[in-house]
Amino acid sequence: MSEPTGAARRRGPFQVGDQVQLTDPKGRHYTFTLEAGKNFHTHKGSFPHDELIGAPEGTVVRTTGNVAYLALRPLLPDYVLSMPRGAAVVYPKDAGQILAMADIFPGARVVEAGVGSGSLSMFLLRAIGDQGMLHSYERRADFAEIAAQNVERYFGAPHPAWRLTVGDLQDNLSDTDVDRVILDMLAPWECLEPVSKALVPGGILCAYVATTTQLARTVEAIREHGTFNEPSAWETMVRTWHVEGLAVRPDHRMIGHTGFLLTARRLADGVEPPMRRRRPAKGAYGEDYVGWGTAKDTGAADASEGGRRASGGRDTASGSDGRDTAPHGRDTASHGRETPSGGQETPSGDS
């Protein structure tokens, strides 16, 4: 039985063509590809690549300046933060959530739109394995070329489960019996019709968007479309900790908002989704709302009218004339972007 694509390059001694990640005494990372006869250069000296070829992972090498570097193969999260980029990458914290919450399983048939630099594609390919299918769509040819190079460099060869199409998902999606669809694009709501036709009943749609405006419009469009269950939306924040003796505290910096995720599941053909009883805040679907739904569509208007009748004109949420004392949820999501530091530096010289 042959090993999965790329597995042989994840274990054993270093070989020519392997990716190597060096860590210096300050914790900074340097990633390069091993080539026979080449040297790795820094401002702290150099050492020959041949010193690592054939050596086991976890080897410590010293430069001509007597500075020690720990040599390991980069993990996939390290690799995606150091690889060449044409577009912003899906960060590991979000990729992990996508794999878990979209339930990406071995052998799954997955469609991805918005490849960018290929970050999420690599996570998906590792999850589905050689027997799965990942069909990725990217509208920009330059991004697609960078992504293809990054994926092949990481796995050591073209992945047999991957097909990359340059073009819009809306115009080119012909796949059927798809288990999962992942959308990383500006307007996911424009793709709901072709996506619903491609997904099997019970299949999962997962969208990754950057702003609250995109999130709201996508959720309302999914509700309006009528072929999916009630969507779930969330974001993930990661905070590292400093642990030094008795000094145990959160680090001063954290990976905050990078994007919002939402998932919804495909209903069987001809099935209408049951109306979910929701209690929107006052004004959520008021006169200023210009989105996809209305107060009547969501049941908010009927609930509000019924409450007024039952209370003789008073708001039942507050129990007092015209005053709402019930606590409202506040939107605590950060609208700013914080780009996590990958700790990566580009080595100089001929490495």
pLDDT of residue 305: 42
Query: Which sequence spans correspond to the domains of the chain?
Result: 7-74, 78-272, 277-322
3.90.470.20, 2.40.50.140, 2.40.10.10, 3.40.50.150: which CATH number matches 78-272? 3.40.50.150
pLDDT of residue 292: 56
**Side chain identity at 103, as an amino acid letter?**
D
Residue with tokens 């399983």: 105
Sorting pLDDT into bands at 50, 70 and 90, what band is 1? low
Residue with tokens 């590991």: 92
HSE-up (13 A, CA, CB side) for residue 84: 15
**Side chain identity at 212, as an amino acid letter?**
T
Q: Average pLDDT of the chain?
A: 85
Fold match, 7-74 / 78-272: no
User: Which overall architecture, per CATH, does domain 7-74 show?
Assistant: Roll (3.10)
pLDDT of residue 123: 98
Is residue 12 within 8 A of residue 61, CB to CB? The reply is no
pTM exceeds 0.75 for this model:
yes
pLDDT of residue 312: 44
Sorting pLDDT into bands at 50, 70 and 90, what band is 69? very high
For residue 302, pLDDT over 50 is answered with no
Identify the H or E element spanning 234: strand 232-234
Give the range among 109-113, 198-202, 273-277, 331-335 with minimum mean pLDDT. Answer: 331-335
pLDDT of residue 285: 74
